């Protein structure tokens, strides 16, 4: 009979939680320690706050510079770039200065958007076309770490698992279903998560740090919280962030066979599933 072991680790300004089910408890412990080491390795490359990390170096590039990147950073940037295109530009990792302004409640208007970065399509490198943009991988970096942890755990033969990065993103894999509580201000809803990721965004998540890529300011949110399911944790985070910037009509066109969407109503009394609009 498989056993259920749980582990926690502080990294990326959140608490990672690992729930593992496997017939071999010793193997589960080894995998958990390997996953924790992987989290720290990814943070050292993706955090904008770690001096010398890939992202820190990107944010200090000058106009005309090219910088080569680690495979992890390059892979995460490519996923973020794809998400930027898929969400019509609503998901944008180059708003680092504007996000910091919002998070820190800095007085005065948000910094103006300027500068341009280009991810090389053929090699692990990034080009600074014009200085001024700063990358903040934030949630998608945590989601990327969860996806990498899943791949590692499955390579080692772990049967089922549930990985979480704080309360914002969770990733389930294997045959077991995991009951997840969607918690609003006054309502809860239970969701069965199976071989998918779930990510939450909202005005109560990390101090309402989502900003609009149109002007770098805090937008008007249609709903206080949104939960979104995707096959991968990185894309779940990207889409839940972008969904906070969408209108109700746009949200009705998001659901598809691989994506589920839940919203907390404005009065906070219910958590509803958004169904796809009829074409």
* Average pLDDT per 10 consecutive residues for the chain, totaling 279 residues: 81 96 92 98 96 96 97 98 93 76 60 86 97 91 98 95 96 96 92 96 62 55 90 96 90 86 90 77
Task: Please give the pLDDT value at position 93.
Answer: 92
Task: Look at residues 139, 132, 73 and name the one whose alpha carbon lies nearest to residue 103.
Answer: 139
- Residue 107 confidence (pLDDT): 63
* Rounded Cα–Cα distance for residues 82 and 76 (Å): 10
Q: What is the DSSP string of 209-228?
A: ----TTTSS----SSSEEEE
Instruction: Quote the CA–CA distance of 231 and 194 in Å, as a whole number.
Output: 10
Question: What b/e sequence results for 88-112 when a residue is b if at least 16 CB atoms lie within 10 Å of its CB, and e otherwise?
Answer: eebbbbbbbbbbbbbeeeeeeebbe
Q: Which of 278, 233, 238, 232 is nearest to 255 (CA)?
A: 278
Nearest to 149 by CA among 84, 72, 242: 72
In which residue are the tokens 């090699």 written?
123
pLDDT score for 70: 98
């Amino acid at each position: 009979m498989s056993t259920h072991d749980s582990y926690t680790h502080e990294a990326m300004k959140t608490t990672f939680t690992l729930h593992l089910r496997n017939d071999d408890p010793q193997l589960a412990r080894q995998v958990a320690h390997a996953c924790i080491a992987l989290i720290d390795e990814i943070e050292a490359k993706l955090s904008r706050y770690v001096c010398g990390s890939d992202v820190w170096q990107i944010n200090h590039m000058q106009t005309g510079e090219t910088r080569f990147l680690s495979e992890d950073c390059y892979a995460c940037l490519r996923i973020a770039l794809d998400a930027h295109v898929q969400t019509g530009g609503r998901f944008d990792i180059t708003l680092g200065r504007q996000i910091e302004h919002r998070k820190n409640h800095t007085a005065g208007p948000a910094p103006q958007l300027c500068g341009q970065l280009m991810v090389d399509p053929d090699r692990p490198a990034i080009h600074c076309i014009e200085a001024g943009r700063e990358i903040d991988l934030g949630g998608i970096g945590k989601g990327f770490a969860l996806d990498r942890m899943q791949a590692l755990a499955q390579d080692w033969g772990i049967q089922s698992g549930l990985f979480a990065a704080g309360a914002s993103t969770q990733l389930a894999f294997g045959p077991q279903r995991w009951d997840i509580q969607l918690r609003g201000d006054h309502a809860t809803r239970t969701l069965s998560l199976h071989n998918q990721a779930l990510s939450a965004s909202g005005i109560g998540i990390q101090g309402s740090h989502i900003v609009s890529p149109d002007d770098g300011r805090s937008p008007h949110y249609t709903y206080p919280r949104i939960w979104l399911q995707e096959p991968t944790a990185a894309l779940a985070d990207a889409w839940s962030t972008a969904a906070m910037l969408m209108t109700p009509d746009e949200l009705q066109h998001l659901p598809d066979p691989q994506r589920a969407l839940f919203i907390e109503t404005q009065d906070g009394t219910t958590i509803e599933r958004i169904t796809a609009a009829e074409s």
